Each structure stands twice: as C-alpha cells, then as structure tokens.
Amino acid sequence: MRLVALVLKRLAWLAPTLAGLVAIVFFISRVIPADPVALVAGETASRAQIELLRQKLGLDQPLIVQLAQYYKQLLSGDLGTSLFTTRPVWEDLSARLPATIELTVAAMLVSVVLGIPLGVVSALYRNRFIDHLLRVVTVAGLAVASFWLALLLQLLFAMDLRWLPLQARITGFPPPATTGFYVIDALIEGNFTRLGNVLAHLTLPALTLAFPALATVVRFTRAGVLETLQRSFVTYQRAMGIPAGLIVWKYVLRNSLVSTVTQIGLLFGILLAGAVVIETVFQWPGIGSYAFEAILQSDYPGVMGFTLYAGVVFGVVNLIVDVSHAVLDPREAAA
Amino acid sequence: MDQRRKPILPGEINMDQSRRGLLSKISRRELMAYGGTAALAVSAGFDPLRAAGKTRFVFANESDYDTVDPHAAFDVGRVAVRLNIYDGLLRWEDNPAKLEPWVAESHTISPDGLTYTFKLRRGVKFHDGSEVKAQDVVYSLDRILAVGKGAASLFKTMIDPGAAKAVDDYTVTFTLTKPSAIFLAIVPEIHIVNTTLIKKNESGGDWGQAWLSKNSAGSGAYKLAQFDPAIGFVGERFPDHFKGWGPKFIDEIEFRGVKDTNTRVLGLLRGDFQGIGGYLQTDQLDRIKKSGNAQILEAESMRVMMAQFNVTRAPLNDVHVRRAINYAFDYDGFDNDILGGLVQRNPTPLPNTIWGVPKDVKGYSFDIAKAKAELAQASAKIDKPLELAFLTGFQQSEQAAQLLQNGLKKAGIESKVVGYPWPTIVEKFKDANTTPDVSIYWISTYYADPHNWVGEMFSSATAGTFKNASHYKNSKVDELLDKALRSTNQAERAKLYEEVTRIVVDDAAGLWIYNTKWYGPYAAKLKGIAFCPIGSAQEMRTAFYDNEG
C-alpha cells in the first residue's frame, strides 16, 4: 500500500515537472538568436516573404501566447508539426523512438548484467590483480570519448576482422516493422536470420554506449560492496557458518545496491546524451540524431518534442528508481 | 636449422601441432577468418535483390532526407529526390551546365520577354501510368508558390500565382510580372507532380504537403519504393520513363543520410555504400584512391568560397580597408597547403567556369606590404578587433578565418574569430547592425547563371539575405544587374555581368578564395556517373555497373 502511495505521489509530481521543463526549454530555444523561419523560407527568400511565413506559422505572436498555445496543444495530445519535415512531431518521434529505446536498453542491459558482478568481484579481490585491472578499465570507461571508442571498434570489428557490421540497424533498407523494435519483430515473426542480423548490428553501438555506464556501475557496486562487507551483520553471518557465496550474492549485494540503483537511474541521462554521438557514428536512426538536427535547425516543435520525451523518460526512470529503493530498503517507502 | 623455425609446407603435418587440440591447429589469422565468416553470414542476412540478379546502388549522403516533397527543398543535400523521382520541363545537364529540354520538347519567349510558352512531349507518364499534361505543370507551379518553400521565394520575384496557364494538354504558358532572364534557369525547379494523385490526398487545403512529404507523385526515372525519414529513400527503376534506358542500368537506388564523414568513407571502402557525398579531406581522398575497390571522379564545380564584408559600417565601409583585407589573405597557402591543391583559385565572385567572368581580372594576391599601403590610405579607424565569423561545424570555414586573422595581424589589424551555427548567422545577416564584419562561407549553384552569384550578392534588393550578407548597395551595379535581368541575349548579359564583376572586385566588396573541385567517391565498378554542378552527380539514370554483381 505504501508502495502504491509512493508511486502515486511521484506521478502527481511528474505533470508539473514536465510543464516547468516545457516552459524553460520553450524560452531558451527562442532566446537563441536563430531564425528557423528564414531557413524554411529558403536562402533566397526576401524579408517580406519570411515575415509572411512567420505569420502563417504563428511565430509572430508574443512568446507567452505561443507558450499558452503550446500547452493547449499538448493537453489535446498534439506535439505540433515540425517546421522542416512538415509532419506531426509525434509521427517523427515515434518513427525513431524504438531505435533509441532498443539501443539504450541493450546498453543498459550490458552495463547492469556485466557491471554488477564485476563490481562485486572487484570488491572481493580488493587490491589484487583483477581489482586493479577492473579499475583501469573503469577509469578508461569514464575517460574515453565515445566517438573515439566507436571508431576503434568500427576499425577493428567491421573493417579489419569484418566480424560485425559497420553501421545501420539492419542490412539493407528495413522491411515494414510491426513494433519498430527489430529484435522483437524478428522474434514475433520467428525469423532467426533477421534476428541474428539485427543483433549483429546492435552489438557495436550497444557496447560503445554501454562502456561508460558499465564503468559507473562497476565502481558504485564495488564501493557499496566494500562498505557493506565491513558491517557487523556480515561478521555475524560468517560466524553462523553461512556459505560465503550466499552472504555475498544475497545479503551483501542487496544491501550494497541502493547507490548503484540511483546511479543506474542517472545513467539513463548519460545514455540519452551519449546516444546522440553513437547514433551519428553508427548511423543509428534514433531520436538522438533527430534531436541534433532539430536543435541545429531551431525546429522549435521538434526540440520541444524531444525535450518532453527526455523528461518523460527521466520521470519514469526516477519513479522506477524510487520503487526499487523501496523494495531494496523498505524503510524508504515508510519515510 | 632450428627445428622450431622450420617452415611447414602445404600438406605437411606438423607433429608438434598434431599433439595439440583442434583449436591450436588453427592460426590466429585463420581463427579470425572463420569467426568473420560466421559473423558475416549472420550480419549480411539474405538479399533478395541480389538473388533475383538485380543491381543496387547505395549512396551515403551527408544530410538527411527528412522529406521527399520536391517543392519543399531547393538544396544540394536533398537533390537526389528531385532528380531521380521527378521530372521538370527543362533540366540542367553536363559540366559546364547546359539547360536541356526535358518534359518540354521546345519553348519560345515573347519579344517583350514576359511570356514563356512550353510545348510538352506526348506520352510522358507518371509512375501510376497517367500522362503528364500541361495542367500538371500549372498545378505544380501554383503549388510551389502556395507552399512557399524551396525555390518559391525565387519564383515569387518574377511570377504570381495563376500566371501559368494550360493552353491545351501539351502547351503551357507562363506570364512573368517583369522580364527576368533567369526564369529559364530556374524552370528545372518546377518539378511536375501528379495533380490527380495529390488532390486525392490533400488534407485541409494543405496542397498535399503532409502526404507528399513521405509519398511520391512523380514521373522520374525511379519511383519511390520506400521512405523512412530516419534513414532515407529507395527508388525502383521506372521502365516506362520517357527518356528510355540504355542496355545497362541500376534496378534499385537507395539514398541514405549518413552524417559522420568517417562512417561514409569506411562504408564505401567496406562495400556498404557504392557512392558517398560530402567534401572530403585530402587524406580521406588518398585513402579511398589507394583502396583499390573505389574510385574518385573529379570535375571543376561551381561553389565559391568567399568572405562577405559588412560594408555598412566602419571600418569596412572604407574601400582601402577592404582592399587591405584582400591583400592579407594567403590564397596559395590556403588552397595548396591547407587544402592540398584540391581547389582552384577563384579571384572573383563568379566561379571560373561560368560565362560572364571577366578574364582580364586577376583579383588580389597575398601581399602584406600592399595591405599596409592600403591601410595607410584609409580614413576609417580600426579601433576594435574585426569580427571574423565562420560556420560552426565547417572546418574549412574556420581554417580560413584563422588564416585571415594571421594575415591581418601581420598587416597590423587585430581581429577575433567567432563561430556561428548556420541558423544563427542567417538571423544575424538580416540586420546590418548584427552582421559580422567578415563572414566566411560558400555560395553554391542554385541555378547556373551569373545572377546566382554576382546578381544576388550585390543587388541592393537582396541586402540582408544569405547571399548579400555584405548589405552592398551600389546604384550603378543595380542598374547593370537590372539590364542583365531584362535581356534574353546571353552575349549582352555576359558583358553586363563582366562589368559588374569588375566594379565589385575593384571595390573589394568581398574576398573570393576558391572554386570547389568536385571529387566523387564511388565504387570502382560503377560507370556512367554524369556530373553537373546543379545535381552533384546524383542523377542515377545513366549509371550502371561495369561488371554486374
């Protein structure tokens, strides 16, 4: 019951948070001295032609009126129409969302599934060779620029060894999608050749994106486990003769994960930001490249749409983090 | 001989190896090859087109195809849609560019230069099998003007909505609001759309914009088979195209947006792409040349790199300061050392390869002594650093700004280098007060006529636009340009543009650096690529593989 109340409380905060986010980004995007109308009108457009188009698009209205209009649109489920593609922003975003979600989830899976055990191992073998090695790798993970790592992986696995594809989500132009998540689509259709192809394409971008996140997960897990190992209940359990494996993987790990789970929530932000670079290098047709283009062209509706998406993702991820905290440490739900 | 170093001959059994496990018998290189074969088998998947013996061409473009509406764009980045999926009355072909009859078989111009009459070919078919008629041409122009994007702003300077009339099914007339010699040059931008099809898909009087942004209604050599704004588009060969086909052709073309230059180059070398766009650095061109599986086609293009001066305020309102800046730029150092000789020095605002260039004008050269001498004659004081603006994300633009800064310093002029993204600098150009002192970028070929450069760059009517960021106003120049626009005699026009060019070069109204040389990286087996400065060799109708497969 307390958990449900927590979820409802967090959800109630999400709406005003998003409304505030929209207002901030709305004003920031319009303060930038750029004129998307001039771009849409074309390089040869005269001043009068540009102003006419501005009126047509409603961008000559006072900012506060434009913002009110935008809120009104949002309430009716309309994200507006892109100035450049002339399609509804939701249509543009939904065409790209599955690609980004698939990539982000794959990267998150890699970093969590590998990062937590490696963090535990690193803590258990503190100051021994394996710990030093993992610490070097994790420092590198945080320090290495993702575009550089992407390039190295491309050169090694796609160009020299030719084991993996260089770019794109699938070989050739994609077939009509059922869900837009190619892994799921291939599974639904039972097409394992395509599944292999999709996974092969997913490997390098997911690894590149996962690397810094993996480093963070390893470091926080290591620190958490080291701290928990010092606590008296561990000494007590050892004295009781409980097997070491059980102590570490059940009791110590659960008590160590609170800060790691918080970090995993924050990592979604890193992954979203990283996705812009990774999607560009690997020609991954996701929302990152769309956001990049929208920002560059000052496509206001496009920028706002992406911001809302990022806000919703953060909100939902934070909600999951809060729920996870409550599950890992029931005292939090009670607080 | 040391037994450990004894070479193993083919077929000979190495007893040492035979005692080890199976994996140990395989060398690391072999292991990689086996792993690669297995991985490739998975990653390549099944290609039905190859299985059907059909040919395919994939082009990696530097910008995205966010729309396939031919009337929504007037840029080189998305030209592949317009040239392959659609046809116009005329088309720019070859290099130097020539205006060729296309869907129109002939045209006439009235003596007053106001009425243009085009006779259409019979039997030209849209992709749905219906015939292209004069009414479609009328609708297409009206649509361009109503939608107000792409080339609309250019058309609006000379023609009003409703000024196109279908005299009969195969005759169309355009009546201009004033004589304009460049009308013919931009007629290829009237991409003819299938009126019936678009009207069927209109929504709320939008001229079919939402629908046509992701569907096609053309008659071009390829018909749209697939489009994904996040990826690009696929075109299938249209066998009934009115131009017909040679014995060899490409069955399917795919144009993808691939923003990362390195990915484009690696993709070409790997065979993912058979052609790539973008202006590449010398080292990348060398890498492609050396690869053996790709070729670099070369042609002199029409894209002039220049520095536009804001001539409205001190100190650049003083011709001596402008000349000093012209003498302070190391043209040879930039063209030959920094760009490795991949470009051609272009001393005037007109590209070297177009008519109307005064051959006697040599332009300025790098000479710090002359720069100082000009500064000594200047009445304007340079009391604050000049702002040298470059385009963010365009390395050459930044390099040129830095080189100019270096030259100016030697001449005794302080300056600061500032980068602006494209939308920001366009906004700044609109007002002379916010326009940077010097802005470095390119003017490409929107239509192959001198007016595309000197006409739009120095006419007072265009002050504050991207092309006239100098806000240059000169009544003598205006008069000459107006005459040139009113005349339909090319020889007469050429003389007028030569005169304008002499005036603006003497007036140092800008600084002109180079004319771009086009380098087209393509798969080695690809033939029949025809370069035209307007289309950047992206019209695929004539392309084919020398050795299919």
- B272 vs A32, A86, A167: nearest CB: A167
The whole-number pLDDT of residue A27 equals 87
Q: What is the rounded average pLDDT for all residues in chain B?
A: 88
Q: Which comes out higher in pLDDT, residue B184 or A333? A: B184
In single-letter form, the type of residue at position A241 comes to G
Distance from CA of B121 to the nearest CA of A (A): 31
Share of chain A above pLDDT 90, in %: 35
pLDDT number for residue A269: 72
pLDDT at B20: 41
Given CB atoms, is A85 within the 8 Å cutoff of chain B?
yes
Q: Is the pLDDT reported for residue B324 higher than 60?
A: yes
CA pair distance B86, B217, nearest whole angstrom: 8
The minimal CB distance from B36 to the residues A154, A162, A281 is found for A162
- Best of B231, B268, B284, B391 to substitute, by most chain A Cβ atoms within 10 angstroms, is B231
User: Which of A29, A40, A43 to substitute to test the interface with B, most B CBs within 10 Å?
Assistant: A43
Residues 467-526 of B with CB under 8 A from A: 467
pLDDT at B22: 40
The residue in chain B having the minimum alpha-carbon distance to the alpha carbon of residue A285 is: B230
Strands (E), B40-94: 56-61, 90-93
In angstroms, rounded to a whole number, what is the distance separating the alpha carbons of residues B240 and B470?
49
* pLDDT digit string, tens, across residues B61-78: 988 888 899 998 888 788
Q: What is the DSSP letter of B432?
A: T
CA dist A95 and A289 (Å) reads 12
Confidence of residue A45 (pLDDT cuts 50, 70, 90): low
Nearest to B258 among A41, A283, A298 (CB): A283
Residue A333 has pLDDT above 70, yes or no: no
Q: Provide the pLDDT for residue A1.
A: 67
Encode chain A in three state secondary structure: CHHHHHHHHHHHHHHHHHHHHHHHHHHHHHHCCCCHHHHHHCCCCCHHHHHHHHHHHCCCCCHHHHHHHHHHHHHCCCCCECCCCCCEHHHHHHHHHHHHHHHHHHHHHHHHHHHHHHHHHHHHCCCCHHHHHHHHHHHHHHHCCHHHHHHHHHHHHHHHCCCCCCCCCCCCCCCCCCCCCHHHHHHHHCCHHHHHHHHHHHHHHHHHHHHHHHHHHHHHHHHHHHHHHCCHHHHHHHHCCCCHHHHHHHHHHHHHHHHHHHHHHHHHHHHHHHHHHHHHHCCCCCHHHHHHHHHHCCCHHHHHHHHHHHHHHHHHHHHHHHHHHHHHCHHHHHC
Residue B427: Cβ-neighbour burial (10 angstroms; 0-12, 13-18, 19+): buried
* Residue at token pair 């050459």: B396
What was the pLDDT predicted at B169?
Answer: 97
Q: Residues B85-98: pLDDT tens digits?
A: 999 999 999 988 89
Q: Does B412 touch chain A (CB under 8 A)?
A: no
Q: Is the pLDDT of residue B192 over 80?
A: yes
Q: Do strands B222-228 and B294-309 pair parallel, antiparallel, or not at all (unpaired)? A: unpaired
- Asked whether the predicted pLDDT for residue B9 surpasses 50, the reply is no
CA B33, A284, A41, B198 dihedral sign is: positive
> Does residue B197 carry a pLDDT above 80?
yes
Chain B, window 451-470: residues with a beta carbon less than 8 angstroms from a chain A beta carbon: 456, 461-462, 464-467
Cβ contact, residue pair A53, B148, below 8 Å:
yes
CA distance B270 to chain A (A): 7
* Partner B, chain A 51-70, Cβ-Cβ below 8 Å: 52-53, 56
Residues of A in contact with B257 (CB under 8 A): 283
- How far is B262 from chain A, CA to nearest CA, in Å? 8
- The model's pLDDT over A157-181, given as tens digits with 9 standing for 90+, comes to 999 999 999 999 999 888 888 899 9
**Which own/partner contact pairs does B78-83 have at CB distance under 8 Å and 24+ positions apart?**
B79/B534, B79/B535, B79/B536, B79/B538, B80/B253, B80/B255, B80/B538, B80/B540, B81/B233, B81/B255, B82/B189, B82/B191, B83/B220, B83/B535, B83/B538, B83/B539
More reliable by pLDDT, A211 or A259: A211
Whole-number pLDDT of residue B370: 97
- Report the pLDDT value the prediction gives residue B455, as an integer from 0 to 100: 95
Which candidate from B209, B254, B427 shows the least CB-CB separation from A173?
A: B254
- Beta-carbon neighbour count of residue B184 at 10 Å? 17
> What is the structure's pLDDT at B2?
40
pLDDT digits over B404-420, tens only?
Answer: 999 999 999 999 999 98
**pLDDT in the model for residue A197:** 95
- Considering CB atoms only, which of B232, B270, B462 is closest to A158? B270
pTM for the complete prediction? 0.83
Report helix, strand or coil for B370: helix
SS3 (DSSP) at B436: coil
Residue B46 forms contact with A (CB below 8 Å): yes
Residue B47 pLDDT level (bands cut at 50, 70, 90): low
Nearest CA-CA distance, residue A128 and chain B, Å: 30
Using CB atoms, which residue from B32, B45, B464 is nearest to A161?
A: B32
Residue A84 pLDDT > 70: yes
pLDDT at A85 over 80: no
Contacts of B66 in chain A (CB under 8 A): 82, 84-85, 293
Size of interface A-B (CB pairs under 8 A): 191
Residue A167 to residue B446, Cβ atoms within 8 A? no
B497-517 pLDDT, tens digit per residue, is 999 999 999 999 999 999 988
pLDDT at residue B320, as a whole number: 97
pLDDT, tens digit, 9 for 90 and up, residues B329-343 = 999 999 999 988 888
ipTM of the complex: 0.80
Residue B97, H or E segment: none
As a whole number, mean pLDDT of residues A310-320 equals 83
- Residue A197, chain B, CB below 8 Å: the answer is yes
* CB-CB under 8 Å, B67 with A281: no
In this predicted structure, the answer to whether residue B218 has a pLDDT above a threshold of 50 is yes
Comparing alpha-carbon positions, the chain B residue that sits nearest to A32 is B424
Work out the number of other CB atoms within 10 angstroms of the CB of residue A16.
9
Q: How large a percentage of chain B has pLDDT more than 70?
A: 90
Q: Inter-chain contact B153–A41, Cβ cutoff 8 Å?
A: yes
Chain B residues lying within 8 Å of A162, measured CB to CB: 36, 39-40, 270
Per-residue pLDDT reduced to its tens digit, B243-298: 999 999 999 999 999 988 899 999 999 999 999 987 787 888 888 999 888 999 99
Contact A105, A268 (CB under 8 A): no
Q: Is B148 on the interface with A (CB under 8 A)?
A: yes
Q: Identify the residue with better confidence: B51 or A119.
A: A119
Q: pLDDT for B462-504, tens place per residue? A: 888 889 999 999 999 999 999 999 988 899 999 999 999 999 9
Choose among A219, A230, A213, A225: nearest CA to A257. A225
pLDDT at A202: 96
- At residue B109, does pLDDT exceed 50? yes
The answer to whether residue B64 neighbours chain A at the CB level (below 8 Å) is yes
Per-residue confidence at B12, pLDDT binned at 50, 70, 90?
very low
Distance from CA of B264 to the nearest CA of A (A): 9
CA distance to partner chain B, nearest, from residue A76 (Å): 19
**3-state secondary structure string, B196-250?**
HHHHHCCCCCCCCHHHHCCCCCCCCCEEEEEEECCCEEEEEECCCCCCCCCCCCC
Min Cα separation A92/chain B (Å): 8
Asked if the Cβ–Cβ distance from A35 to B149 is below 8 Å, we say: no
Terminal CA-CA length for chain A: 13
Flag if B47 and A171 touch (Cβ within 8 Å): yes
CA gap B450, B182 in Å, rounded: 9
CB–CB contact A281 B262 (8 Å)? yes
Say which range, A289-298, B166-175, B229-238, B388-397, has the weakest mean pLDDT. Answer: A289-298
- Taking the CA of residue A201 and the nearest CA in chain B, the distance in Å comes to 7
User: B154 and A201 in contact by Cβ < 8 A?
Assistant: no
Q: Is B153 close to A45, i.e. CB distance below 8 A?
A: yes
Arithmetic mean of pLDDT, B386-411: 93
Q: What is the pLDDT of residues B137-155, one digit of tens each?
A: 999 999 999 988 888 888 9
pLDDT value of residue B283: 83
